[in-house]
């Protein structure tokens, strides 16, 4: 049995702690705030409740694996339901095109794209997504599901991780229709990346979405954090709230604990599940990376009848506005969240109004959260590391780090941001430390 200190009570820290405790280690989790969950939580005001961060997840197998390997199966704790359609896309073209893109079905996507964007577009979209099948299998085996080792990785995986082909170039080559290019790239645009710096293989998440669909928890993804907090109690993890980590405690260059205002939490291994810039011992190792700036975020509570909309609506353009409709509200009311990327020259609700969703006069409650406020609240960006070209892969830390005894999980670690990747990072850390 080893003593393991996990820094950060977001999804990456919770998942790492649960796995390591089940593997027989003595785990202490340190969270700087008063609650667990980080971005996987709720915002509440005047009877309205919104998801603070993600509202759905891809690759549900990652969640199922986490719960199965830390105790009771997921189905005993949470209900996962498919999101259909995954998103409605509104394009600012002459025809004001509307595309409801389904998930989990190649045929359904072809039919939907063809109907919305015109003859031949469905086949073009299918060819683009199909091309990621081999990439996905290679990266899944060598990079996502086990700690990367160049000596064991396939030639294809090594070629993908070092490619100069960007997502922008790939989509320009694949599509003449600008709407298809926009559709293929919008997840990276929403996350805040410059497409000229995103490697082409990141388009594989369109393949994941098409084959495995998008999934959510009724009532809000914050229930995931609650379920994992309960799992930590079951596994005997010591949770220290309001306990920010000041730095690593080192002895002979090796981590032997975590320094806090209350003293040193001694440990044989330390898992950093926060932005490593917050720890002086790790900050120099990531000085060539930058965090992603979160989007402008606005939660609104509406009264009266509203348009019947799916769970997510993407209004393409500059700015891009993403509407998420799945919040909890009093009877006769509605809880929506708006995310904005790009040049927001006017109020985001007004911008949505111009995009055709006209509910501006029905706003009863409003909670605005600027990018700076989000970073201050969460102690860093839950969107992880900004893509700055192919070298970003090696400039991230994780699952191991150059500091002996220190491991990395979370959005700033390998393989990156988003619930599936963060969940995989925790699994990689668990493999790297091993059982007691």
For 421, phi and psi rounded to 5 degrees?
A: -65, -40
Q: Please say whether the beta carbons of 425 and 271 come within 8 A.
A: no
Helix (H, G, I), strand (E, B) or coil at 241: coil
* H or E stretch at 51: strand 48-51
Cα–chain-centroid distance for residue 186?
14
Angle between helices 11-22 and 419-433 (to 10 degrees): 30
Structure confidence at residue 345 as a pLDDT band (50, 70, 90): confident
How open is the CA angle 422-373-62, to the nearest 5 degrees? 10
Per-residue pLDDT of 263-314, as tens digits, reads: 999 999 999 999 999 999 999 999 999 999 999 999 999 999 999 999 999 9
The domain locations on the chain are: 3-40+221-289+381-433, 104-209, 296-376
Average pLDDT, the chain: 96
- Is pLDDT of 146 > 80? yes
Place of tokens 């084959």: 211
| Mean pLDDT confidence for 374-390 | 94
- Is pLDDT of 355 > 90? no
- Is pLDDT of 434 > 80? yes
Helix (H, G, I), strand (E, B) or coil at 157: helix
- Is pLDDT of 1 > 90? no
To the nearest 10°, the Cα dihedral for 162, 164, 170, 173?
-140
Place of tokens 């990367």: 148
Contacts of 153-162 with CB under 8 Å at 24 or more apart are 160/135, 160/199, 160/201, 161/199, 161/201, 161/390, 161/393, 162/390
- Is pLDDT of 420 > 80? yes
- Is pLDDT of 110 > 80? yes
The CA-based diameter of the chain, rounded to the nearest angstrom, is 66
Query: CA of 141: how far to CAs of 137, 154, 231, 283, 398, in Å?
Result: 6, 9, 28, 30, 17
Per-residue pLDDT of 359-373, as tens digits, reads: 999 999 999 999 999
Which of 131, 213, 107, 128 has the alpha carbon at shortest distance from 179?
128
Q: Please say whether the beta carbons of 368 and 377 come within 8 A.
A: no
Cα–chain-centroid distance for residue 399?
17
The count of C-alpha atoms lying within 13 angstroms of the C-alpha of 385, restricted to the half-sphere facing its C-beta, is 32
Cα–chain-centroid distance for residue 172?
26
pLDDT for res 102: 97
Nearest-angstrom CA–CA distance, 9 and 33: 8
- Specify which residues 406 forms β-bridges with: 270
| Mean pLDDT confidence for 171-200 | 97
pLDDT for res 19: 98
Per-residue pLDDT of 240-252, as tens digits, reads: 999 999 999 999 9
- Is pLDDT of 352 > 80? yes
Strand order in the sheet with 263-266: 245-251, 254-260, 263-266
Its CATH architecture, for the domain 3-40+221-289+381-433, is 3-Layer(bba) Sandwich (3.50)
| Mean pLDDT confidence for 338-353 | 93
Structure confidence at residue 134 as a pLDDT band (50, 70, 90): very high
Place of tokens 């080559």: 173
Per-residue pLDDT of 52-105, as tens digits, reads: 999 999 999 999 999 999 999 999 999 999 999 999 999 987 778 999 999 999
């Amino acid at each position: 049995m080893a003593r393991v200190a996990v820094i950060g009570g977001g999804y990456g820290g919770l998942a790492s702690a649960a796995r390591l405790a089940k593997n027989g280690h003595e785990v202490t989790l340190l969270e700087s705030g008063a609650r667990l969950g980080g971005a996987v939580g709720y915002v509440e005001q005047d009877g309205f409740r919104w998801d603070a961060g993600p509202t759905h997840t891809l690759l549900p197998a990652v969640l199922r694996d986490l719960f199965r390997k830390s105790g009771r199966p997921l189905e005993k704790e949470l209900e996962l339901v498919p999101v259909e359609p995954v998103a409605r896309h509104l394009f600012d073209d002459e025809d004001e095109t509307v595309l409801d893109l389904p998930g989990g079905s190649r045929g359904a996507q072809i039919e939907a794209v063809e109907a919305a964007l015109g003859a031949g577009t469905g086949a073009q979209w299918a060819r683009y997504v199909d091309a990621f099948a081999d990439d996905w299998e290679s990266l899944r085996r060598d990079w996502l599901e086990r700690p990367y080792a160049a000596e064991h990785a396939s030639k294809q995986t090594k070629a993908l991780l070092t490619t100069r082909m960007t997502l922008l170039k790939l989509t320009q080559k694949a599509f003449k229709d600008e709407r298809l290019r926009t559709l293929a790239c919008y997840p990276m645009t929403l996350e805040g990346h410059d497409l000229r710096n995103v490697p082409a293989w990141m388009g594989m998440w369109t393949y994941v979405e098409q084959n495995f669909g998008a999934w959510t928890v009724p009532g809000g993804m914050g229930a995931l954090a609650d379920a994992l907090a309960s799992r930590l109690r079951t596994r005997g993890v010591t949770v220290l709230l309001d306990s920010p980590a000041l730095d690593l405690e080192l002895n002979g260059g090796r981590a032997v604990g975590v320094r806090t205002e209350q003293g040193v939490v001694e440990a044989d291994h330390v898992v950093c599940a926060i932005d490593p810039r917050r720890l002086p011992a790790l900050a120099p190792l990531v000085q060539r990376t930058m965090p992603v700036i979160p989007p402008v975020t606005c939660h609104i509570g509406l009264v009266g009848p509203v348009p019947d909309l799916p769970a997510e609506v993407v209004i393409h353009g500059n700015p891009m506005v993403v509407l998420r409709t799945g919040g909890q509200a009093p009877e006769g009311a509605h809880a929506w969240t708006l995310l904005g990327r790009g040049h927001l020259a006017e109020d985001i609700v007004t911008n949505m109004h111009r995009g055709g969703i006209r509910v501006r006069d029905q706003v009863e409650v409003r909670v605005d959260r600027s990018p700076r406020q989000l970073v201050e609240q969460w102690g860093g960006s839950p969107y992880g590391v900004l893509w700055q070209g192919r070298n970003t892969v090696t400039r991230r830390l994780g699952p191991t780090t150059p500091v002996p005894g220190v491991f990395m999980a979370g959005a700033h670690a390998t393989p990156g941001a988003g619930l599936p990747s963060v969940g995989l990072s925790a699994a990689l850390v668990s493999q790297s430390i091993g059982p007691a």
